[in-house]
Structure 1
Amino acid sequence: MSKIKLMSHLVAGYPTDELSFTAARALVDGGADILEIQLPFSDPSADGPAIQGACTEVLKRGYRTADGLAFIERLHKSFPQVKIYLMSYGSLVYTPGVENFCKRAAAAGVRGMIIPDLPFDHDEGLTAACRANGMENIPVAAPSMSPARLDLLARAGFPYIYAALRTGITGTDTTINDNTCRFLEAVAAGGSKIYGGFGISSGSQARALADQVEAIVAGSVFVRLITENKNNPDALYKAVRAKAEELTSI
């Protein structure tokens, strides 16, 4: 039976490493093809309230990059058939050295990096460091980009591009319309495979996008379910798995 591919976003360690792992297991069992794991960050530029709140809660525990990479390594060993992408912000990658960070990420099982605030053409060496370590840099395209710049990105030769389906921050609903389709066509003009996300929370949205993207991306919807059920691991697993199944069903 055919299905819609799903890249699901989780904040590493939220609300605890064990509950975060339970959520990841639910996502995999629910049909997620890719786990996009965010390293908690104190001042995110693209994340809405649900993900910002999750990051804040994890950071209060003194959670560090090493903890996030250890969590990713556990996921990789538990679900070797599932791609893992790491999502973070530039300072966490740049501070220890881009090459060093990429080496550590690859060793933990990361297959791709999504760093929204490192532009594709001024990425501090991220693309080269990813390639040197067997990973892909997955740049972010946004509707706010000028047509000329969007075309430059589309034809830059990246195997995958993350298309943010609207401007602003994650977590609020996105309407899929003709403008969305035209934007996705522009992002895909150079032959890159497209991951489409920002505000995806329902099966109807996923089905509307399915023909134009390699995978849909959903994050805040899962973080909200985790928050609502964090005192009941069984309920958390069931809620997250059910939503993953909804999003992947044709």
Structure 2
Amino acid sequence: MNKKIKLMSHLVAGYPTDDLAFTAAKALVDGGADILEVQLPFSDPSADGPAIQSACTKVLSRGYKTKDGLAFIEKLHKNFPNVKIYIMSYGSLIYTPGINEFCKKASTAGVTGMIIPDLPFDFDEGLTKACEDNGMINIPVAAPSMSRERLLKMANAGFPYIYAALRTGITGTDTKIDSDTLEFLKSVSSGGSKIYGGFGISTGEQSKALCDYVEGVVAGSVFVRLITENQNDSDKLYEAVKAKAQELTGQI
């Protein structure tokens, strides 16, 4: 068997239904995912491509609330206690109730990390401290569009983990792993932070090309698309998502 690649897999809470979202999560865990990155649906997801935007819109049209997303996370944590759960969402959703209050609720539900792409690492409205106070970590997002000076400032700011978005633009379209990508990852990790690398990762080939340079590979839109394609058959959904997770972790 090949060396297992660490995988952070993304899914949208409540998509397409609560039951099918749980089926997808189980498939991801059974397929070898180490971390579940759960997106709380948001009405203006600026970094997300069409697959995730459509999923968020569908869930929100049911009147889905943040409390529903946290209840879903709590269920995941109870069923898969050894799998890390990170929340991915946007600033206004966690700022509105109060960042410390939100972090307290997230931690209670079983969350250990927060990924909020639109909160800059050095002007994060107190997110890093609120995470620390509640036993979690804040994982800032680095992008190739950042100036080298700013990138190195983030790299040396003492974050345990940094999420490296492997290209500019929206997620969900194909990402080429080339020498520029590896140079970018080298810069992001230069201060000692462990790196999660993602944005447009959908094949085992990409995953293998990345795995020696990152702590974990991140994949999202590929799973959301599989969930969408198989939403009328829970067994097929489970098998498709599980097989893709196995492919991305290098097990098949």
TM-score bracket for the superposition, by shorter chain length? over 0.9
User: Which amino acid letter does the alignment assign opposite residue 104 of structure 1?
Assistant: K
- In structure 1, the gaps of 5 or more residues are none
Q: Residue 37 of structure 1 aligns to a residue in which SS?
A: strand
Distance 2:183 2:103 in 1: 34
Distance 1:26 1:192 in 2: 29
User: Which amino acid letter does the alignment assign opposite residue 80 of structure 2?
Assistant: F
Q: Indicate the residue corresponding to 2:247 in structure 1.
A: 246
Distance 2:60 2:99 in 1: 22
User: Which amino acid letter does the alignment assign opposite residue 215 of structure 1?
Assistant: G
Shift of the alpha carbon at 1:153? 0.1
Q: Is 1:168 equivalent to 2:165 in the alignment?
A: no
The Cα offsets for residues 8-53 of structure 1, whole Å up to 9 and x where unpaired, read as 0000000001000000000000000000000000001100000000
Q: Share of identical aligned residues, percent?
A: 76
Shift of the alpha carbon at 1:249? 0.7
Runs of 4+ displaced beyond 6 Å: none
Alignment of 1:43-82 (within 5 A): 43-82=44-83
TM-score, scaled relative to structure 1: 0.99
The Cα offsets for residues 199-246 of structure 1, whole Å up to 9 and x where unpaired, read as 000000000000000000000000000000000000000000000000
Q: Indicate the residue corresponding to 1:186 in structure 2.
A: 187
Alignment of 1:139-178 (within 5 A): 139-178=140-179
Shift of the alpha carbon at 1:169? 0.5
User: Which amino acid letter does the alignment assign opposite residue 105 of structure 1?
Assistant: A
The Cα offsets for residues 67-110 of structure 1, whole Å up to 9 and x where unpaired, read as 00000000000000000000000000100000000000000000
Q: Indicate the residue corresponding to 1:10 in structure 2.
A: 11
Q: Residue 189 of structure 1 aligns to a residue in which SS?
A: coil
Q: Residue 190 of structure 1 aligns to a residue in which SS?
A: coil
Aligned residues: 250
Q: Indicate the residue corresponding to 1:35 in structure 2.
A: 36
Distance 1:219 1:198 in 2: 8
User: Which amino acid letter does the alignment assign opposite residue 69 of structure 1?
Assistant: L
Distance 2:107 2:18 in 1: 20
User: Which amino acid letter does the alignment assign opposite residue 34 of structure 1?
Assistant: I
Q: Is 1:93 equivalent to 2:101 in the alignment?
A: no
Shift of the alpha carbon at 1:156? 0.1
Distance 1:79 1:98 in 2: 26
Q: Residue 217 of structure 2 aligns to a residue in which SS?
A: strand
Q: Residue 176 of structure 1 aligns to a residue in which SS?
A: coil
Alignment of 1:19-30 (within 5 A): 19-30=20-31
Q: Residue 223 of structure 1 aligns to a residue in which SS?
A: helix
Distance 1:28 1:79 in 2: 8
User: Which amino acid letter does the alignment assign opposite residue 123 of structure 1?
Assistant: D
TM-score, scaled relative to structure 2: 0.99
User: Which amino acid letter does the alignment assign opposite residue 98 of structure 1?
Assistant: I
Q: Is 1:214 equivalent to 2:215 in the alignment?
A: yes
Q: Residue 14 of structure 2 aligns to a residue in which SS?
A: coil
Q: Indicate the residue corresponding to 2:136 in structure 1.
A: 135
User: Which amino acid letter does the alignment assign opposite residue 10 of structure 2?
Assistant: H
- Over aligned residues, Cα RMSD in angstroms? 0.6
Distance 1:222 1:44 in 2: 17
Q: Residue 151 of structure 1 aligns to a residue in which SS?
A: helix
